Structure 1
Amino acid sequence: MKITETKLKGCLILEPQVFEDHRGVFFEVFKKRELEDFLGYKIDFVQENTSISKKGVLRGLHFQIGEGAQAKLVSVQKGEVVDVIVDIRPDSKTFGEHIKVTLSDKNHKSIFIPKGMAHGFLSITNEVIFNYFCDNYYNPKMESGILYNDCDLDIDWDFPLSELIISEKDLILPSFKELIK
């Protein structure tokens, strides 16, 4: 497995070695030992989530605060997404910066997202099955987010805005500036 750190410290792209033959494909999504060796600390995933989305669905930008904060390992089982991670750690050199990564059932990449990052994704194929491994249990009292089209973050989703499908809850998320007050 190839592990690459992004410009956001601690945010990693995992690329498995893929074995393909006449039967199909096999790959390891992650190995705990290799991930922990790279990170330099232990990680214990306690919850797995799956979302199924149609083309144009934008979920995010979400994160959990305080004791509810979660590190996540995300991947796509079916389809393709534009995945966006925003560094919201006030002491980070990349505070307020973001990265975009294409995740798909073709490239088999995963992203490890450490605590202190906001996360969202846009489904760009007709059906997406998206998996999340989390190192903390979901607590609705600790959830927060940032508006997907925040002008200070300037995220280009590379998709017609008029075709986005966004939950009512995500449409009323605060701006980045409101969040960091």
Structure 2
Amino acid sequence: MAGGKCETGVAGGANRANGRLSAWRSPDILVDLREASMARHSAGILLYRGAKDGVEVLLVHPGGPFWRGRDRGAWQIPKGLVRAGEEPLAAACRETEEELGIRIDGIPVPLATIRQKGGKVVEAFALHQDVDVKALHSNSFEIEWPPGSGTMAAFPEIDAARWMSLGEAGHCILASQDPLLGALAELLEPGPR
């Protein structure tokens, strides 16, 4: 599952204003949790680890025919829908474990809440945890494929996972999730907030 090739680049940034995280690139992308309850609500975890040249984040490439052949701007954090009555942190842990085939080791901290282009609200958490991408194993889903064929086909939810520097991730990540990289950089910045 290691795969993937996305081009390198420079990540965005974020800052805190009035006790609420806001992205300098797109301040309207980050949303208040009160708005999240009115939209499709997902939760996920941005895993990170230390590296020789700074911090690396684990991004995943969605599986299935809709994402096949897409690379730049297609990578994401592992995430999924929050079930009715489920706490977002519990959903983030469950979805990350299902999509990567790992156990979460530690307590993720709140990172940011964003609204994706299609309207889905994603509540993101951060966790320092190193995992071997070669050992990851994703769950799968079934859809009718090709459409209208009457044939069901199974695809992995995640077809690749890769550790990337924040700069590389800035070019690879889904545009609406880019503020999460800046939020992580700020979270890890030493000194008072």
Q: Same fold (TM over 0.5)?
A: no
TM-score when normalising by structure 1 = 0.26
Structure number having the greater helix percentage: 2
TM-score when normalising by structure 2 = 0.25
Structure number having the greater strand percentage: 1
Relative contact order higher in (CA < 8 Å, ≥ 6 apart): 2
